[in-house]
Structure 1
Amino acid sequence: MAGEHRSGCPINLSLEVFGDKWSLLILRDMIFGGRRHFRELLNGSQEGIASNILANRLKTLVELGMLTRRPDPAHKQKAIYSLTEPSIALVPVLAALGAWGRRWLPVTEELSVRARLLEEGGPDLWARFMAELREEHLGVPTTPPPDGRTVRDRLQAAYLATKSTSA
């Protein structure tokens, strides 16, 4: 097994799993956008992923155990992709990447508001979000949020609010 990797360094091994931008962006769109089907991921990507790259990355993410793929009972030609625990555990990593990007890069308010809310919410919000993702993707029950709005709902509402004020 060790011969298949450049080194046993945890950063190197992590980058071997999701070190290309498309893999992390697919996981981002599934985590924050709730996208579960190929077409949703293809058409919902602001970065404009090509269909062949998407198909390749989805296959690789399934092989690596970051996603599962099963037939969609509602549509015979569709598959539903689900996050696995290793992917769900990326929420704090993505929150840290977003916080870093907000501090050091020329982000837009519209596309960085979710990162700001995740940074402000900190570990408690991340834990809540991961519990909600476990329920959605793994079927692990969680207690409903007190106000009935999921973390994703709150992040999406903030995003939409910036779009309406910038239009």
Structure 2
Amino acid sequence: MSSWMKTLQSGANKVGNEAAKLKLYAEISLLKGDIKSLKEAWGVTCFDLYSQGDANGVNASHAKQLVKIREKEAKVQAKIVELNKLKAPKEPVVVDSTPIAVPIAEVPPPTQTMAVPVPPDASPGQQIAVVLPDGKTVQAVVPPNATPGTVFHIQV
């Protein structure tokens, strides 16, 4: 195979990989929207049951919705695992919502700047555990205005 064919095939593989990642991001977003909708629907049902004094109905409704929500959450986690498999080795990988930092620049030892992705379930100001390349864990605070999937930097 000629070098231009290999380059063309490599480019096609990258495009396919990016498309697969975008599809997974969309599926994760839809599943999270479904979870939110299930919670909101339960709130309406719960309000009506509670207004009628039906505590048993409230509990039963909660248990029923919880099963549906847990199923959706399991699907989200499976999609995240699938997404992480598609990411290039140089990209940070999120495992069980714990980001793994990767070196991006060497600074005079022993300090390094690390790129850390914001986990899907994190919000600005939240403290998260970050796994360093040597396996050690440090705590970091998600910066203001950070959204899931964006990257921020820490010095270690």
With the length of structure 1 as denominator, give the TM-score of the two structures. 0.27
> More helix per residue: 1 or 2?
1
User: Whose radius of gyration is greater, 1 or 2?
Assistant: 2
> More strand per residue: 1 or 2?
2
